[in-house]
Amino acid sequence: LFPFSPLSPSPLSPSPLTPRGLSHPFSPQAAMTKLGQWLCGLALLGSAWAALALAPPGLQPPAPLRQALLPLPVYLLVAFGCYSLATVGYRLATFNDCEEAAAELQEHIRAARADLRRRGLRL
């Protein structure tokens, strides 16, 4: 999506020939909102699915294919749901608890207060 290597200089200002918001001539996605991208994607997939699965009798693909295609959107939704649950669950389980950082912070706070008092801070 962003063919941008961290080693190349960053384009701080787009060239005068590039329309605002389109700083990369090779990524048209930059001009479309995320919502727009989703709608486009769904429209494409949706129409492909409808064309195949809901075709009139003369143009139907073979029966087994139709049987698989028809419930596909629901299957994909369920699969995505499972993926989401699994991912969030895994990330929740592996969410680090920073005991050391907390302890270190308490130490720093003690040192800070002592030092600041020495330097004249009146709390």
Partner 1 sequence: TAAMGPARVSVLLPTYNERDNLPLVVWLLARTFSDSGIDFEIIIIDDGSPDGTQEIAQQLEKIYGSDKIVRKLFLFPSGTAYIHGMKYATGNFIVIMDADLSHHVRLDFMYYGKQKEGNFDIVSGTRYKGNGGVHGWDLKRKLISRGANFLTQVLLRPGASDLTGSFRLYRKEVLQKLMEKCVSKGYVFQMEMIVRARQLGYTIGEVPISFVDRVYGESKLGGNEIVSFLKGLLTLFATT
Q: Are 14 and 22 in contact (CB under 8 A)?
A: yes
Rounded distance, CA 5 to CA 103, Å? 39
Q: Using alpha carbons only, how large is the chain's radius of gyration in Å?
A: 28
Q: Which of residues 82-121 bind partner 1 (CB under 8 A)?
A: 84, 87-88, 91-92, 95-99, 101-102, 104-105, 108-109, 112-113, 115-116, 119-121
Nearest Cα to Cα of residue 55 among 76, 43, 68, 70: 70
Element (H, E) at 51: helix 34-53
Which is closer to partner 1, CB of 74 or CB of 97?
97
Q: Which of residues 57-86 bind partner 1 (CB under 8 A)?
A: 84
Instruction: Give contact residues for partner 1 (rule: CB under 8 A).
Output: 1-2, 4, 6-7, 9-12, 21, 23-24, 30, 33-35, 84, 87-88, 91-92, 95-99, 101-102, 104-105, 108-109, 112-113, 115-116, 119-123
